[in-house]
Structure 1
Amino acid sequence: MERSEQPQRRPWLRHYPAEVPPELDYPDCGIPQLLRDAAAKHPDRPALYFLGKKTAYRRLLADVNRMAAALSSLGIAKGDRVAIMLPNCPQAVTAYFGALSIGAIVVQTNPLYMERELEYQLADSGASAIVTLDLLYPRLSRVRGERPESGPLPELKHVIVTSLKDALPFPKNALYPLKQRKEGFRADIPYGRMGVYAYRRLLAGAAGEPPEVPLDPAADLALLQYTGGTTGRPKGVMLTHRNLVANTVQTAAWCYRTVGGSERFLAALPLFHVFGLTVLMNYSVLRAGLLILLPRFEPDAVIKTIRQKRPNIFPGAPTMYVALNHHQDARTADLSSIEVCISGSAPLPLDVQERFEKLTGGRLIEGYGLTEASPVTHANPIWGLRKIGTIGVPFPDTDAAVVDPATGEPVPAGEIGELVVKGPQVMQGYWQRPEETALALKGGWLHTGDLATMDADGYFTIIDRIKDVIIAGGFNVYPREVEEVLYEHPAVREAAVVGVKDAYRGETVKAFIVLRDGWQVSRPQLDRWCRERLAAYKVPHLYEFRDSLPTSMVGKVLRRKLLEEEES
């Protein structure tokens, strides 16, 4: 279908760059085939860089095959769930592709989870194996109980334990245990007992090629990715191989000016989060690029890595770019290698975008996604028409609309409603939750729970989460709108707005503020600033100044945590 023939209900297609087709061809394969193809075409090209050590595609595929064979030798088969609880390190990549190679379903698990959260996710998914770090084993052992068969997780038969030293070059690998002992780490890990295995020994003993497991990309699950639990307990989002392959190909099409094989991806986003998993791990392998792994986001380490390793693609969250904008070395360090940054997980303030682009000379665009869509559905064109404050336009093969939350009927351009999306990246449903699946997926449309508008050009703007809307004195207040005004104040580094209980208004607006270093501002000054820019009912009645705000691992400010603190 020619672009001029596309339905008028997709006005965004008029603003697609000429290089981006509205419809794409997707390989009919599973995620592991992306790695096999990269290794076949570019065996000696570096695939991973981690704290001084490079791994070529040939070696990465060999490690993945050994992991697949090792898992198979433990009796893990197609459809079994394999949890991965690791920071960004080569073992996280090997475990992911190894499990998928034998048809297992990966359950990405946050290394920061405490026992209660960890037990819930492992029990809900029915994971039969987990790959984790020696530093995290004590927490896992308390969840399992002293004897696995008597503990709360009878299905978790196998625990594979690795250490960061397993991925370090010499002499760092020899010095790492000394560093652990100096820091007081003394984990008593029962290797060889209770289903606990040493990662390196297990892979070294894996003999032969892994079994060939046929995959149906459209039907076979690759991932159970748990949501953050903003609407009750976390749910496992069922994503197929085709869902993930499609979103990876869509992302690659959007970044059309980057050259395959020359991309260098800075992986400061956690790979266990679906944003990092798709736009870093899967995308880098699709393009046979180099994935530069950082175990956690630290501004010092990020600036040093950009200066030394010259990455050109740096997906992140607004808080990451805020931290770098305000870093003491940002103006003197050479950050010019950065070409493309896709910001997700939270709104991107204009001031943050402009400052970071000035520092790097690259393009920082705001996009949008959610776990249920693998995750990306929208983005501003990187080298086309950007509309500041919007999430841009839908990806190729992705439909989107704004509907009345009560009736499901589309609303006119410019009016607020619920954002719904449809496309090849949309999930199959929630794991073992048919009722909640039916509420989220209606006629193939995913109901996001986000309030949005669409303008006449087909650019979408997120107003807020439906559940985050503050109703103050009968008026709707959208936290993001108030936060944007606060971010414009020169003294404000970060801001978060929530609704707190109020005997008179029902709810009232409270703002949590982090100030820029060396700046001071009073509550009356902020109040005056807001009153000049907002209707009176939107102006915060309460302000609280803090040194930091609670954030998720991808830098999303957790309004829920702020509310919990208010209510405690």
Structure 2
Amino acid sequence: MIRINDTVFDQAYFRDASDRVAAAAHLDRRAGDRFAVCFSEAQDWLAFFFAARAAGASILPLHPSTPYAAARRQAETAKCNWLFYNRLEGEPICEERSVGPGQLLQMSSGTTGEPKCIARAWSDIDNEIEHYTAAFTGPQDMTPLVACPTTHSYGLICGILVALKRGRTPAILDTGNPKFLLRKLRETERPYLISSPAVLHTLARLMPADEKIHATMTSGTLLPEPWFDQIRRKSIHMFQQYGCSEAGCIAINSEVQAANEVGYVLPRFSLRDAGSAGDPKEIAVERAGTTVETRDLGYRREDGMLVFLSRLDDLINVSGLNVYPKEVEDVVMTLEGIGDAVVFRKQDAFAGERVALLFSADRTIDRARLREWCAERLAAHQMPTEIVQVERIPRQANGKISRRDVAARYGAGEFAATQTEAA
């Protein structure tokens, strides 16, 4: 049973809906095919998912807001045989058939390069769910509220499938209306909110001073320190998980005390060359003889906690000195009035690379004051040399920021019309 906003869809509904999908898509004779699926309604997409998984087919879930042309491109990139776009009549895409067991297909976020298709066998998904529920028992008696896309592995696996494995009824909530989310939180006994940093931050700001959320879970990208402080104060329990498209969930923190403490590695993985605070390494995990390199820089503390520092591709090298963008963003966002910020790399003829900054605020921020604020709290090589105030920081559908995309758009002059200062 799954609740979607205010409507409950029981087992009988999904059984009948999945049977209709199986018949319309001819899953009995197309079990080896790859299906790209984009439906605007969550119950339609989930019915297709359950039918394809039961048939042992491979499925590529696409975010419901994906335009048709983009959906077709992604289907072609993933070598899908069929695209089902808001109707139970498939459009042929590719004639090449895959060999082997069915898989969950996911397009990588593309935050550090072109998106690519990641394929994980259903047996690996089942193994992840088994280890996840065994290692992370805290939410066992809580009601999961999934306020993030179920077409992404975070909402689908850790939200829906883990809840069903635990015998709980997950609720999928529309994230477009924060007041609706607050109402559902108040109506739910022991709610466990699985969402993005941006949504959690919005709710924390809107909640009355004497109100708290029973439990929150964040994933996907690290919380800026000011956001973390607000959400932590508003959460009785705060959880965080860390992973990547290729491996699924790698680590879980069941009582978050600092934003960069991403958790303890699940038993299904071994951590390769864990590094230390003074000598961080790329986070890489091994399982069944396969190594997954995350392109994340971090280390494991003596107590076993995995600490995240930065995406390797996001590091800015200023005259041989490394700048971690999050450290600069955290300082900028502690200045009163600034609500969001992103730091990115800008090429420089003298230093090789320099720090550039986009920020949004509830009013016009004096640049001299901002530069003074940063100079008191950052080293010289960390100082932003170009500063732009924008109405809104550009984020992807999953709430992540692509520094690569921001830098490209900045280089193309997209933000030139706003207030800019170059040091």
TM-score by length of 1: 0.66
Give the one of 217, 220, 240 matched to 1:342.
Answer: 217
Give the one of 88, 104, 110 matched to 1:229.
Answer: 110
Q: Superposition pairs for residues 35-74 of structure 1, below 5 Å? A: 47-72=1-26
> Equivalent residue for 1:355?
230
| Structure 2 residue identity aligned to 1:270 | P
Is contact 2:226-2:330 (8 Å) kept?
no
- Show structure 1 runs of 5+ residues with no match: 1-46, 157-218, 403-409, 425-442
Is contact 2:316-2:355 (8 Å) kept?
yes
Distance in 2, matches of 1:381 and 1:294, equals: 23
Give the one of 250, 259, 263 matched to 1:377.
Answer: 250
1:434-464 per-position Cα deviation (integer Å, ceiling 9, x unaligned)? xxxxxxxxx5221111111222222222221
Q: Superposition pairs for residues 153-172 of structure 1, below 5 Å? A: 153=93, 155=95
Is contact 1:486-1:530 (8 Å) kept?
yes
> Equivalent residue for 1:461?
307
Give the one of 499, 514, 523 matched to 2:360.
Answer: 514
2:192 aligned counterpart, secondary structure: coil
1:331 aligns to 2:331 (yes or no): no
From the two aligned structures, give the one with the greater strand fraction: 2
Distance in 1, matches of 2:24 and 2:173, equals: 26
1:565 aligns to 2:409 (yes or no): yes
1:526-547 per-position Cα deviation (integer Å, ceiling 9, x unaligned)? 2222222221101111211122
- Show structure 2 runs of 5+ residues with no match: 413-423
Residues 476 and 321 of structure 1: CA distance in aligned 2, closer, same or farther (over 3 Å): same
Residues 130 and 313 of structure 1: CA distance in aligned 2, closer, same or farther (over 3 Å): farther
Is contact 2:101-2:121 (8 Å) kept?
yes
Identity among equivalent positions (%) equals: 23
| Structure 2 residue identity aligned to 1:558 | S
Is contact 2:5-2:174 (8 Å) kept?
no
> Equivalent residue for 1:546?
390
1:365 aligns to 2:239 (yes or no): yes
Residues 122 and 462 of structure 1: CA distance in aligned 2, closer, same or farther (over 3 Å): same
1:294 aligns to 2:162 (yes or no): no
Residues 299 and 558 of structure 1: CA distance in aligned 2, closer, same or farther (over 3 Å): farther
> Equivalent residue for 1:484?
330
Give the one of 395, 400, 414 matched to 1:556.
Answer: 400
Is contact 1:414-1:454 (8 Å) kept?
no
Select the structure with the greater relative contact order (CA < 8 A; seq sep ≥ 6): 1
User: 1:366: how far off?
Assistant: 2.9
1:472 aligns to 2:345 (yes or no): no
User: 1:411: how far off?
Assistant: 4.2
1:303 aligns to 2:182 (yes or no): yes
| Structure 2 residue identity aligned to 1:104 | A
Q: Superposition pairs for residues 389-428 of structure 1, below 5 Å? A: 389-402=260-273, 411-412=275-276, 414-423=278-287
Distance in 2, matches of 1:225 and 1:248, equals: 17
Distance in 1, matches of 2:190 and 2:48, equals: 24
Residues 116 and 505 of structure 1: CA distance in aligned 2, closer, same or farther (over 3 Å): farther
Is contact 2:191-2:215 (8 Å) kept?
yes
1:279 aligned counterpart, secondary structure: helix
Distance in 2, matches of 1:274 and 1:419, equals: 20
Is contact 2:175-2:199 (8 Å) kept?
no
Aligned residues between the structures:
410
> Equivalent residue for 1:133?
86
Is contact 1:422-1:444 (8 Å) kept?
yes
Residues 154 and 462 of structure 1: CA distance in aligned 2, closer, same or farther (over 3 Å): closer
Residues 500 and 320 of structure 1: CA distance in aligned 2, closer, same or farther (over 3 Å): same
Which protein shows a greater Rg? Answer: 1
Distance in 2, matches of 1:297 and 1:310, equals: 22
Residues 225 and 311 of structure 1: CA distance in aligned 2, closer, same or farther (over 3 Å): farther
Residues 257 and 124 of structure 1: CA distance in aligned 2, closer, same or farther (over 3 Å): closer
Distance in 1, matches of 2:126 and 2:114, equals: 28
Distance in 2, matches of 1:332 and 1:67, equals: 47
1:317 aligns to 2:196 (yes or no): yes
1:503 aligns to 2:349 (yes or no): yes
Is contact 1:307-1:333 (8 Å) kept?
no
Give the one of 225, 228, 241 matched to 2:122.
Answer: 241
Give the one of 370, 385, 389 matched to 1:526.
Answer: 370
> Equivalent residue for 1:10?
none
